[in-house]
Structure 1
Amino acid sequence: MTDTEYLDHAEAALSRIEASCDRLNDEGDADLDNQRVGGMVTITFANKSQIIVNLQKPLQEVWVAAKAGGFHYKFDGERWMDTKGNGELFENLSRYASEQGGTPLVFS
Structure 2
Amino acid sequence: MTDLEFMDRAEKVLLAIEQCCDTINENTDADLDSQRSGGLVTITFSNRSQIVVNLQKPLHEIWMAAQSGGYHYKFDGEVWRDTKGSGEFFAELSRDASAQSGQALVFKIEA
> Which whole-Å CA distance do the structure 2 matches of 1:66 and 1:33 have between them?
15
Deviation at 1:78, TM superposition (A): 1.4
Q: How does 1:1-108 map to 2 (within 5 A)?
A: 1-108=1-108
Paired-residue identity, %? 64
- Residue 79 of structure 1 and its aligned partner are, at CA, apart by 0.7
> What is the total number of aligned residue pairs between the two structures?
108
Unaligned stretches of 5+ residues in structure 2: none
Q: Return the offset for 1:77.
A: 1.4
Deviation above 3 Å: which 4+ runs of structure 1? none
- Letter paired with 1:67: Q
Q: Secondary structure at the match of 2:30?
A: coil
TM-score for the superposition, normalised by structure 2: 0.96
Q: Distance in 2 between matches of 1:30 and 1:90?
A: 18
For 2:11, the aligned partner's letter is: E
Give the drift of 1:95: 0.2
Using the TM superposition, give the Cα deviation of residue 30 of structure 1 relative to its aligned residue in structure 2, in angstroms. Answer: 1.2
Distance, in Å, in 1 between the alignment partners of 2:36 and 2:78 is 24
